Amino acid sequence: MASKNAIENTTGSGGETHQQASDDKVLTTNQGIRISDNQNQLKAGSRGPVLLEDFVLREKIFHFDHERIPERIVHARGSAAHGYFEATEDISDICKAAVFTKGTKTPVFTRFSTVAGGAGSVDTPRDVRGFAVKFYTTQGNWDLVGNNIPVFFIQDAIKFPDLIHAAKMEAQTGYPQAATAHDTFWDFISLMPESTHMIMWAMSDRTLPASFATMEGFGIHTFQMENEAGDVTFVKFHWKPKAGLQSTIWDETVKIAGADPDHQRRDLFERIDRGDFPEWELGIQAFDKAFADSLDFDVLDSTKIIPEEMLPVRVIGRMVLDRYPDNFFAETEQVAYCPGNIVPGIGFSNDPLLQGRLFSYLDTQKSRLGTANFHQLPVNAPKCPVMNFQRDGQFQMAVPKGRTNYEPNGLSEGAETRPGDEPGPRECPVTGYRSIAAATGPDEEGGKLRIRAESFADHYSQARLFFRSLAEPEQAHLASALVFELSKVGLAHVRTRMMANLVNVDPKLAKRVADGLNMEVPEASPSAAPVKDMEPSPALRIIDGPRAPKSIEGRTIAILIADGSDAGVVDELTSQIGDAGGRPVIVAPKIGGAKMSDGSVLEADFQLAGGPSVLFDAVAVVLSAEGCTQLLKEAAAVQFVMDAFGHLKAIGHTEEAQPLLDKAGVEPDAGVTDLGATFIKVAATRIWAREPKVRMLA
């Protein structure tokens, strides 16, 4: 039966395909002129020269040549979604912003990104992830522009160009792309002790998130909130994923980049498409000046955190992403986030990194989007009334009427006023935005100085806190990451300088890295302030931490089948996975599926060679003896199981599949089970106890 949207194809004299309009949907130029032929240029004769008068060709090629806009200098590779923020708790005691009125739902547009790579780079490098949220509030747009890591490399925004120049591909060679494992980055970092805490995070599993839905987000800086009475509270913002914290491991990450360069973008789209909407809680750490004064670090220092055990996170709302963009370029590419977009009740602190960002983002958006009117693009436009006397500029979309384009004005007060002399909008001292001027501590006013506060001088204590708070496997991963990165550094003195900084963090860490490089451990580098031992913070862990996943909800479980697989077992397993909130997918040698034990054909979601186990959270191998014999000859099948075991994933299997597991080198442990309730339970997380054994086998 023909589709109601079927289009009739005809063939031209040269064999080209023509699709002709059967209704009023006729192709036009940008000037609205209908097009008679969209397949051929206008020529003098069928084989003659193309005529310059062909305005259809000229316009089409001209527009195509200008379709790309400058990509972001950082955060160029991004994915985004629409959704809403719902205020779930009453915080009117500390904040008057309408977005936080309990029960209020506010539209949002959230963009996730990598930092170093270009727009065409892969989704899964070792890199910080941007986590930017645009709230379209009733009081105007508020942009909370953060990362998936709560600290940053530098304390002062004046160093940002140096940081990015050092981190990006090297100026002489043009590589590496989306990677920091090179001389210039580590030369800069080793000379910037303030970066050490961030480096601990960057080399940890936090920069290998399994998906956008399983990573945290942070506002990084200290902000201010004000209530109706004018009382000021200082806050730090936290996004906590409902799906729990999950990361990949390095070998898996490298293979994902080859198997699916768009892995995280695709995951975001597919979650929304199937109704498994990503969700986060928004929390705040709220404190006053007395609390800030009690700390032995500075809350204006963006290289520091306030441990959650010291100041718990108060959950105040939730964000749900439930709609993928209709057009990637129009929305995801053209969205413009600016930390300076703020609403009444929320204010800035004197964090010197934040203060620099308030200028930088506005400037870069104008440069990238080509006009000061970028706020008029639909994705950037506020959803509340916008009224002012700003006029003109490139790509002005508004058509203001009248001649009162200034304020104050009084044309309308006379007897001979004309249409269009209306006075227009006016300021409002009551509801308008008023800057919050409270100080977090001393020395926030005074003479003009280019100086860094002494309270910013401790660069190693929190780096030590982070490393010593991690679970043992996470510490091992961090050390391995440092070895990998520094092994790519060709200058021995840079490696030595970096290890000298690591001695201040933890001598055992420095020794592990030195052993991995086959170098001597140097003396500790000088420290500008004494290094202190802080109480470990379990909240910083991914493995066995408070936000580790507890079930398979939201996780993708692959079921590998072949001809002869038991249809009843597959049906039962599929139901069990679905009932537990997981997503079952079928993998077979061919995309058309496999002939099951009952004679039916079960179609596959993935072809085996194109669906390696790195794309899934756990695997079930449901084979008959015949199917196992078949797959023993398939290198992709052996690799599928070998990688699942090596990447510490749960493996459920039928008894008949055992020969394939044996060939793949799978050894018995708690994560290798038969099919059923035990498999569903262990599939909730990786089998970390397996890792030392796998390392030894490697």
Contacts of 388-391 spanning 24+ positions with Cβ under 8 A? 388/425, 389/424, 389/425
| Cβ–Cβ under 8 Å, residues 279 and 334 | no
Q: Per DSSP, which regions of 526-666 are E strands? A: 556-560, 583-588, 594-595, 601-602, 606-607, 618-621, 651-653
- Nearest 5°: the CA angle 475, 479, 485 is 145
Q: State the SS3 of 341-408.
A: CCCCCEEECCCHHHHHHHHHHHHHHHHHHCCCCHHHCCCCCCCCCCCCCCCCCCCCCCCCCCCCCCCC
Local structure of 23: helix, strand or coil: coil
Cβ burial 498-509 (10 Å sphere, 16+ → b, else e): bbbbbbbbbeeb
Residues 112 and 266: their CA atoms lie apart, in Å, by 13
Structure tokens given for 484: 């990998």
* Angle, CA 307 vertex, CA 304 and CA 311 arms, to 5°: 120
Residue with tokens 């192709």: 27
Integer Cα distance of 197 and 200 in angstroms: 5
535 and 194 in contact (C-beta within 8 Å)? no
The string of DSSP letters for 630-647 reads HHTT-HHHHHHHHHHHHT
User: Per the structure block, which two tokens stand in for 623?
Assistant: 């084979």
Cis before 425 (ω within 30): no
CA separation for the pair 20, 10 (Å, rounded): 8
Residue with the two structure tokens 């080209």: 16
147 is catalytic: yes
Q: Which of 75, 197, 459, 477 is catalytic?
A: 75
**Going by DSSP bridges, is the β-strand pair 232-241/223-226 parallel, antiparallel, or unpaired?**
antiparallel
Report residue 596: phi and psi, to 5°.
-80, 175
Interior/surface letters 359-368, b for 16+ CB within 10 angstroms, e for the rest: ebbbebbbeb
Residue 221 annotated in active site: no
Is the omega angle on the peptide bond into residue 408 within 30 degrees of 0, that is, cis?
Answer: yes
Active-site residue (options: 141, 147, 373, 380): 147
Pairing status of strand 618-621 against strand 606-607: unpaired
**Tokens 């949220």 identify what position?**
133
Q: Check if the beta carbon of residue 354 is closer than 8 Å to that of residue 345.
A: no
As beta bridge partners, residue 588 has 607
User: Length of the chain in residues, anyone?
Assistant: 698
Side chain identity at residue 94, one-letter code: I
Spatial CB neighbours of 232, under 8 Å, sequence gap ≥ 6: 224, 225, 226, 347, 436, 438
Closest CA to 111 of 149, 148, 150: 148
Please identify which residue in the block is written with the tokens 């009084």.
Answer: 410
Active centre residues (catalytic): 75, 147
